[in-house]
Amino acid sequence: MPYKVLILVCGIIGYTGNKKASKVVLKGLMTLEYRGYDSAGIVTLDPKIRIQKNVGKINQIDFDMEKLPGNVGIGHTRWATHGGVTKENCHPHISNNGKIAVVHNGIIENYQELRTFLEAKGFVFNTQTDTEVIPNLIEMYMKENDFLDAVKKSIKMLEGSYALAIVCEGLEKVIAVRKDSPLVVGVGDEEFFVASDVPAFIEHTKKVIYLHENDLVIINKKLKIFNLKEDREVERPVHNIDWDMEQAKKGNFEHFMLKEIAEQTESIKKSLRNNTKEIERVSWMINDARKVYLIGCGSSYHACLSASYKFSSLAKKHLDVVLASEFSNYRDLIEQDSLVIAVSQSGETADILEAVKSAKEKGAKVVSIVNVTGSSLTRESDELLMMNSGPEISVLSTKTYTSQLVVLTLLAYATAGRYDEGKAKIKDLINYVYYITSANARDYIRKLSEKIKDSEHIYLIGRGLQYPTALEAALKIKEVSYIHAEGFAGGELKHGAIAMIEKGTPCIVFTSDLTEKEMVGNASELKARGAYIIGIGPRNNDLFDFFIKVMQADEANSICQIIPIQILAYQLALLRGCDPDRPRNLAKSVTVK
């Protein structure tokens, strides 16, 4: 029995125009590699189908451009959670007759039934992927239909999530379609692009169309968009994006992760640019709602947890913080006077979108805090607050995490009727963020990374706002350096975690003016068990073996205290031979459950 290769997130691109398609597609795949990096492939038409694909990162695959002629092409960079990373399983996938090629981001949930159906009709399968059913369905339907109608009929057979780009031998066009996976169109000068994300074509155009759910687009010399659910041709607005290719390049930095850590002075400034009226409208919604839920995944969840402390202390409001993947367990509590605040960098995270749709079915209002204009989450929301962070290419969330905290902090202050005070406090923080992201600060933190790089375990503790920071800090370390790291509330140490402490175990202790006395007590308990104590906060202490000073910033502490750990995690990755931009088993956005 063949088994499914679960594609968590991949990057796809398609091109039609006057340029050599293979060069455009290859460059686009390089910018999308943060979405997947275990294999890649390209198909072009000349008008025959030409295909090259292989396992490995894109710069490890020897694409022969001379053997990929033509002005129409599609490409794919893949990331899989399980199943064989083999040349056969690489995209693009070809139909049995060799005339139809498909690239796919997402997962076809009923692929086994479709495979059995097609095998009964004589089709042969050569891979372990779910995607291979799609070109063969199209081949089957093209026996009695043209290319477009065959694609439409095939799409009706699919269950699951997908962004697809499809070509057919002899036809100078690309057909692309999306359902529950991101897909955008780039509108150039006598050329068109489809891609998973804007950086794939930003070098060529800043004009972008964000496709809606169930949109199907045809690109050749012209552009046509159909909505399969509405069964009609539709028009979608063209947006001009306000960032350029330089922001999607590493520049003088060795890695995107380091570049994006260093960009936080600017990204925090940009996050402050939210329209005051938009912030006020959302604050009124919070005050009017009977129940308010903050939902997120991963780093976004930690930002939500941090925000819940701020709403409690500033606005005297209780907000329920829920992992988006667990939100279904709260569905029976959602009412028409409930409010859901969904936090997501990409706006395409499957668990977030499912939670939001579930809340809307019960009549709740939805506010999204997101970084990507035109993403699925923005269209599902009643109100939208943009993070304005610009592109984040590294898999790890750094500048987008602090941007989420900025927006949520502003919102907490606004809900308390103290918006101007909150904005001033964050503005005061910007110069300090510049200091703690500087080369001097990075060199100082590198000394710590050299001391603890061979550790098997790192433990992090905090109280109050420093507890969510400890959770996020632990996530950063284990994501990129593969050192086991765990974050705890300081008061929980004696309830089990302290049993793990041995001589030399690194323990990172976050302190603040409010929690210093209790945290020093916790540090003393750890020190007595032989721990190597790393203090992060406004004041040093004799208990600390290593100290990183971070200014006291009250409700903004969470914004600045995480940054030294971002730097530490990056440097640990380098010292341990890990790729900070492409950590194993991870991808940028999780677009299927």
Q: Annotated active-site positions, please?
A: 10, 588
Label residues 230-248 b or e (16+ Cβ within 10 Å = b): eeeeeebeebebebeeebb
Selection from 88, 73, 89, 99 nearest residue 176 by Cα: 73
3-state SS track over 431-499:
HHHHHHCCHHHHHHHHHHHHHHCCCCEEEEEECCCHHHHHHHHHHHHHHHHCCEEEEEEHHHHHHCHHH
Cα distance between residue 590 and residue 299, in whole Å: 13
3-state SS track over 153-194:
HHHHHCCEEEEEEEEECCEEEEEEEEECCCCEEEECCCCEEE
Tell me how far CA of residue 489 lies from CA of 285, 494, 498, 538, in angstroms: 31, 10, 12, 19
β-pairing verdict for 207-210 and 192-195: unpaired
Q: Which two tokens stand for residue 259?
A: 């570049």
Cα distance between residue 178 and residue 196, in whole Å: 10
Q: Which residues contact 50 (CB under 8 A, 6 or more apart)?
A: 43, 44, 67, 68, 69, 70
Selection from 34, 449, 413, 426 nearest residue 264 by Cα: 426
Order across the sheet with 320-323: list the strands.
Answer: 320-323, 291-296, 338-344, 365-370, 383-386
Q: Which two tokens stand for residue 130?
A: 């779910």
- What does residue 16 show for φ and ψ, rounded to 5 degrees? -135, 140
Q: Which amino acid is at 502?
A: E
Cα distance between residue 443 and residue 386, in whole Å: 33
Q: In this structure, is the dihedral angle defined by the CA atoms of residues 413, 418, 419 and 422, taken in order, positive or negative?
A: negative
Cβ–Cβ < 8 Å for 14, 195: yes
Q: Is 19 exposed, middle or buried (0-12, 13-18, 19+ CB in 10 A)?
A: middle
